[in-house]
Amino acid sequence: MLPGVKQPAAVSTDDFINAVGEHKPAVVRGESGFRERQKRAFREERGAEVHGLLNHSKQFPPKGVKSQADAVRLDVPPARVTMAPKARGATMTKLAMFVLLFSVAVTAEWVSIGPDGGNVQALAVDPQDGARLLAIAYEYPDTGRVYTSTDGGAVWSAVGRFADLYASKVVVDPFDAGFAYAMGQGDVIFRSSDSGASWTGYALPNQTFDFTCDPHSAGRLFAVGYWISGNYWPAVFISNDRGQSWTTRFPDSAATQRYATSVDCDPVNPGVLYVGTTDSIVYRSSNGGESWERRSTGLPVNAGITALSVNPVNSDIVLAGCGSGLFRTTDAGLSWVLVQELRRVYGVRFASGEKAYSLGYDSVMRVFGSADSGRTWQAALPGMQLGKGEVLHTVPDSPDELYLNGAMGVFRSTDRGGHWSSAHGGMRFAHISTISACPGHRNRLYLEVSENGVFKSTDGGATWTRCADFLACGNICGIGVVPRGPGDVLYALEGAG
C-alpha cells in the first residue's frame, strides 16, 4: 500500500463499468450487447473470451489471428484480438490492477513527506520555560502558520495562523505564557491570549522597529521607532494594558532626523531601560520612560545601534551592537569601549552574568561568544553556515543553549554555538520550486526549497539531507540529474534561467 493512501473500497463490476462509462464516453457509444459481454467477462471464471475494455466494436478478429503476434503481422488493431484461454489469467490480473488504481485515484489523499523546515520569520523562547517555543512562519501570499513546541523544538504543532503577512519579532509574556505579542508591518502590535492560536492587532502611534516586555510589571510593553510630523524624532511607545493602548515619550525632542531602533529593560532594577538610535546614540531612563539621559560617550558616530542587552546580574554592564562592532559599558552607559570589531552586529544577548552571545559579520556571518561578561569574544567554532536572515536567542537558566531562526528553519546548539542541529521537526511549509528524480534510481530525489537550498533523499522522500550550497546567490528553478556510480552529477538552472 502506498504511504498516505487509504485502503480502497471494494468495487463491484457494475460500479466499475458504470464508472468507466461515466468518465470515458467512448466506451458507451457501442452497442448494448457489448456492454453485457464486458460484465460477463468479470463474472465468469472461465470459458468466456475477454475483449478489450475500450473496444466497443462487436466484430471478432478476422480468421488467422490467434495471437498478438498475428495481429502485429497482419496489422490488425489490438483491441480486436480475442485473448486465448492461456492469457486469460494475465488479463484478469491487469483488470484487477486497473480496478485498484481506479479506486486509489478516487480515494487518495496527499500526505506531506518533507523536508522539514522553512522560513521561520520569528521565534520566541518562553521566559518561564526554556523548552517551550513559539514560532511564526513566512508563507507569502498567505499569512504564516503559528507553531508551538514543548520539547525544545524536537516536535512542532501548528496551532493557528498569524494575522499579518510579516512578523519581525514575537515575544512570550514573562508573567503569563498564554499571552504573546508580535510586531507586524511597522505600526501594529498583535496580541494573542491563547498561546498563538488567534491574534488581534492594536495600532501603534507610529512606525516601530523593536519592542520588549517589562520584566517587572505585568502587561507593560515598550516599543521604539519614530514619530513623524513634517520632521521625525526617535520615540518610545508605552503600553500598560498588554498593547491595547499606547502613550508616546520622546527621549530627545531636539534629535531630529533619527529614529529609535533597539530597546532593552534592566532585569535587576525596575524602571530602568535603554534605547538605541540610528546615529549611535543611547538613551537611558530610570523612571519607566518618563524622562531620559543621553549616554553615548565612546560610541562611534553614525554607526546605528542595532542591539542592546543589559547584564542580568550587574546591570551597570550593558552591551551595544552597531555597524562598527560590539561596545561595552561598565558604568550604565556613561562611557563605552569597543570590545569586538565587526562589520555588522545583528543581535547581542546576555545568557547569564558571565556568558553572552552575539550574531555578527566579520568575513562571514557567525555566532560569537563571551565567558567574561562581554569583555572578550571568540567565534563559536565550527559553527554553522549562516547568512539567511538568522536571529539569535538565548534560553533562561541554560546559558550554554542557543536557538537560531531564519530562512532555513530553527536550529539549536547546546555547546555555546559550536555545533548546531535542526529543531524544526513537524514544520512543513517550505516552498518547493523544483523537484527531480535520478534516472534509473527512483528513490534518489532532489529538490530546491526556496530561499534555503537543495535537499537530497535516497529513500523516496522518507528522509532528507540538505546539500552544500553551490550558488552564491539566487534560487534554483530547475535541476538536471545524471547518475554516476554511487553519486550523481547535478545541473542547476538558476533564477530565470
Sheet of strand 129-137: strand arrangement: 120-126, 129-137, 145-149, 157-161
- Report helix angle 13-23 to 88-107, nearest 10: 70
- Burial, 7: exposed, middle or buried (Cβ in 10 Å; 0-12, 13-18, 19+)? exposed
Total residues found in the chain within this entry: 497
Long-range own/partner contacts, residues 141-149 (CB < 8 A, 24 or more apart) = 141/165, 144/429, 145/429, 146/192, 146/196, 146/197, 146/199, 147/196, 147/426, 147/427, 148/195, 148/196, 149/423
| Residue recorded with cell 565612546 | 298
Cβ neighbours of residue 462 closer than 8 Å, sequence gap 6 or more: 113
CB 286 within 8 A of CB 271: yes
Looking at residue 108, its pLDDT comes to 67
End-to-end CA distance of the chain: 39
Dihedral sign, CA of 250, 191, 145, 410?
positive
* CATH 2.40.10.10 corresponds to the domain 120-422: no
Specify the pLDDT at position 370: 98
> Greatest CA separation found in the chain?
108
pLDDT on residue 279: 87
- Dihedral in degrees, nearest 10, Cα atoms 183, 189, 190, 191: 110
pLDDT at 495: 63
Q: Would you state the pLDDT for residue 477? A: 73
Can you give the pLDDT at residue 474? 54
Domains of the chain, residue spans:
13-107, 120-422, 432-494
* Residue 305 β-bridge partners: 322
pLDDT at 145: 95
The DSSP-derived string for 142-187 is BPPEEEEESSTTSS-EEEEE-SSS--SEEEE-SS-TT-EEEE-SSS
Positions in the chain short of pLDDT 50 = 1-39, 41-61, 72, 76-103, 497
Based on C-alpha coordinates, what's the Rg of the chain?
33
